[in-house]
Amino acid sequence: MTTQPAVTTATEATPDAFRSLMSEFPTGVCAVTTIDVDGEPWGMTCSSVASVALTPPTLLVNLRAGSPTLQALLNSGSFTLNFLHDEARETAELFASGNPDRFALVPWERPPGVGGPHLVRDAHTVADCEVVLTQPMGDHVTVYGEARRITRLHARPPLLYGQRQFRSWSQT
């Protein structure tokens, strides 16, 4: 039995090369939602999410610096992470599209005291967070949120994204 040698190809770390690198790292898919100061809902698809600390329960999301969702989130001081389940691909694509009518096309609720809209059909779990820190980096802003409330909505596997494809945890 012979072993094939590893293929080594080096390239400059351009934005396209970096995007390609990160596409090879599968991750869960969320919709970040918030309500602006006028009571209007905002949201976008996000796969740049990570846990930071258990005490206090803190996570981070990375959002594009020019995003109107980011601006609404910063102005309100709170947001909701909707962890999408495996049957929510259309919603993930809708919230990534920039369609200004996205909230008219999906069912959502805003219970009292939450950070943003809960996507009640499409999220398996939501985390309502208070903004505790922001850090700009290049063309994105890292937002640290302390989770104030966690609500389980559906017992479904998570939606994953990698290699520019959506998949179910059960399909991996």
For the segment 68-122, what is each residue's pLDDT rounded down to a tens digit?
999 999 999 999 999 999 999 999 999 999 899 999 999 999 999 899 999 999 9
The pLDDT, as a whole number, for residue 22 is 67
Half-sphere exposure of 5 (CA within 13 A, CB side): 3
167 vs 171: which has the higher pLDDT: 167
SS3 state of residue 74? helix
Closest CA to 131 of 110, 148, 118: 148
The pLDDT, as a whole number, for residue 1 is 59
First to last CA, the chain: 29
For the segment 28-76, what is each residue's pLDDT rounded down to a tens digit?
899 999 999 999 999 999 988 999 999 999 999 999 999 999 999 999 9
